[in-house]
Amino acid sequence: MQKTLATAQADTKSKIGVDFHGVINTRPDFFREFCREALKIGMEVYIISGGPRETILAYLNQYRISYTKLWCIYDYYEQRHQVEFYDDGSFHVADELWNKAKAEYCKEQNICVHIDDSAIYGREFATP
């Protein structure tokens, strides 16, 4: 039993979430190095942000920021037809959905730490 538990724990990688707007995009050189080092020691790095995905993806590629997975609130809800679009090109997702999305995603993905500059998201997070 003990050997099985040790093997299961060894197979589980630590996961960290990092916000894009206000975090990565304010210090891209720092986060390029941070993400590279985290990946090098076997962690998984999830870029978690509002989106849209294509805009963030272009930036991450331009600054050569490595990561495991990119997840965006906008794209998640757009796929579920929960985004309201306006004639001026802007959009809206209900606040109660938007504000809890990062915490729910981190919980689903077993992400143990998330770095974000917006305190409003922290209200929805729980300590594992």
**What contacts 23, CB < 8 A, 6 or more positions away?**
31, 115, 116, 117
**What contacts 81, CB < 8 A, 6 or more positions away?**
none
pLDDT of residue 128: 61
> CATH number, domain at 28?
3.40.50.1000
99 in a structural domain: yes
CA distance 112 to 12: 12
What is the tens place of the pLDDT at every residue in 78-115? 999 999 999 998 999 999 999 999 999 999 999 999 99
128 in a structural domain: no
Full residue range of the structural domain in which residue 62 is found:
14-122
* Token output for 81: 């037809």
Looking at residues 10-20, what average pLDDT do you find?
85
In this structure, the number of other CB atoms found within 10 A of the CB of residue 49 comes to: 24
70 in a structural domain: yes
7 in a structural domain: no
118 in a structural domain: yes
76 in a structural domain: yes
Number of domains composing the chain: 1
